[in-house]
């Protein structure tokens, strides 16, 4: 097998749990060398509400969301946005290497096994982006891990998020409206929203708020990186 990222040969280092059948054996698409370049995030190492790497228990952004909008943020991410993740997203999203959607399959699949929700949805690409790129990067990354229900539609923004500075991102107005599907909210007591990267949290807050207006409660969010 070859690493999907660097094309070097890949040896699966199975854990004891996997070898003894306690955990499912999921082949890795990422070699040990590439894996060593990732920084794993956790609630213990950072903000307990969004996994931001800080010394305090709750970061300033999350405190602000609570104070200003009465939102108790509930976000998890797997990896810190470092140079490795930056170049991954450049190849995947900017250069359109769709095979890279599978690079973190093992990590995402394992996370999905330990975190259960009644409904899982995602931040969709806007129509303009979809036409330009030819695929929806968030859907491609998660659709074979979670049973995804489209709940949101994204309007085309004046400027792509990546070209905005932090202040501009925080000022961005609501860009989501609800997808016209018939989901019975009364049976959905918890909902997860997926995205690829979490920066200021503003995109997720807009997505949350669109779903809250529709009547959803217990909303958590997840991104591969932050
Ligand atoms: Zn590699
Ligand atoms: Zn936080």
Q: How far does residue 52's CA lie from ligand 1's centre (Å)?
A: 26
* 133 and 197 inside one domain: yes
* 78 and 10 inside one domain: no
Ligand nearest the Cα atom of residue 87: 1
Angstrom CA distances, 175 to 31, 112, 145, stand at 38, 27, 26
* 29 and 112 inside one domain: no
Query: Which pLDDT score, from 0 to 100, does residue 194 have?
Result: 98
Query: Which pLDDT score, from 0 to 100, does residue 222 have?
Result: 98
Q: How far does residue 138's CA lie from ligand 1's centre (Å)?
A: 22
Ligand nearest the Cα atom of residue 5: 1
Ligand nearest the Cα atom of residue 47: 2
Per-residue pLDDT band for 44 (boundaries 50, 70, 90) equals: confident
Give 15-40 pLDDT, tens digit per residue.
899 999 998 999 999 999 999 999 99
Ligand nearest the Cα atom of residue 71: 2
Give 48-106 pLDDT, tens digit per residue.
999 999 887 999 999 999 998 888 999 999 999 999 999 999 999 999 999 999 999 99
* 21 and 131 inside one domain: no
Three-class DSSP labels, 169-184? HHHCCCCEEECCCCCC
* 156 and 71 inside one domain: yes
* 99 and 193 inside one domain: yes
Ligand nearest the Cα atom of residue 56: 2
Neighbours of ion ligand 1 (CB under 5 A): 3, 5-6, 31, 34
Helical residues (DSSP H) of 172-225, grouped into ranges: 202-213
* 90 and 26 inside one domain: no
Q: How far does residue 91's CA lie from ligand 1's centre (Å)?
A: 14
Query: Which pLDDT score, from 0 to 100, does residue 90 have?
Result: 97
Give the mean pLDDT of the chain. Answer: 92
Q: At a CB cut-off of 8 Å and minimum separation 6, what does 119 contact?
A: 149, 151, 183, 188, 190, 191, 192
Task: Give the integer Cα–Cα distance in Å for 22 and 34.
Answer: 26
* 173 and 126 inside one domain: yes
Q: How far does residue 61's CA lie from ligand 1's centre (Å)?
A: 34
Phi, psi of 73 (to 5 degrees): -60, 140
Task: Give the integer Cα–Cα distance in Å for 207 and 214.
Answer: 11
* 26 and 75 inside one domain: no
Q: What is the C-alpha R_g of the chain?
A: 18
Q: At a CB cut-off of 8 Å and minimum separation 6, what does 193 contact?
A: 121, 122, 123, 152, 204, 207, 208, 211, 219, 220, 221, 222
* 151 and 194 inside one domain: yes
Q: How far does residue 29's CA lie from ligand 1's centre (Å)?
A: 8
Q: Are 49 and 201 in contact (CB under 8 A)?
A: no
Domain count, the chain: 2
* 46 and 32 inside one domain: no
Classify residue 7 by burial, with Cβ atoms within 10 Å: 0-12, 13-18, 19+: exposed
Q: What percent of the chain has pLDDT over 90?
A: 75
Per-residue pLDDT band for 159 (boundaries 50, 70, 90) equals: low
Mean pLDDT of 147-176: 78
Q: Which domain holds residue 60?
A: 41-225
Helix crossing, 60-69 with 202-213: angle to 10°?
Answer: 30
């Amino acid at each position: 097998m070859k690493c999907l990222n660097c094309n070097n040969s890949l040896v699966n280092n199975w854990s004891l749990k996997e070898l003894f059948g306690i955990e499912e054996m999921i082949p890795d698409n990422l070699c040990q060398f590439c894996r060593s370049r990732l920084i794993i995030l956790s609630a213990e190492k950072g903000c307990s509400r969004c996994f931001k790497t800080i010394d305090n228990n709750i970061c300033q952004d999350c405190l602000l969301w609570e104070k200003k909008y009465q939102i108790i943020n509930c976000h998890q991410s797997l990896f810190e946005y470092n140079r490795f993740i930056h170049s991954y997203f450049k190849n995947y999203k900017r250069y359109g290497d769709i095979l890279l959607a599978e690079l973190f399959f093992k990590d995402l699949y394992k996370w999905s096994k330990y975190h259960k929700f009644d409904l899982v949805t995602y931040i969709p690409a806007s129509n303009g982006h979809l036409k330009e790129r030819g695929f929806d990067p968030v859907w491609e990354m998660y659709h074979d891990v979670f049973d995804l229900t489209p709940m949101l539609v994204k309007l085309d923004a004046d400027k792509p998020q990546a070209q905005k500075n932090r202040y501009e991102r925080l000022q961005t107005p609501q860009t989501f409206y609800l997808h016209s599907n018939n989901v019975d909210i009364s049976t959905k007591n918890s909902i997860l929203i997926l995205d690829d990267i979490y920066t200021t949290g503003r995109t997720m807050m807009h997505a949350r708020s669109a779903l809250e207006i529709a009547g959803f409660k217990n909303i958590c969010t997840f991104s591969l990186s932050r």
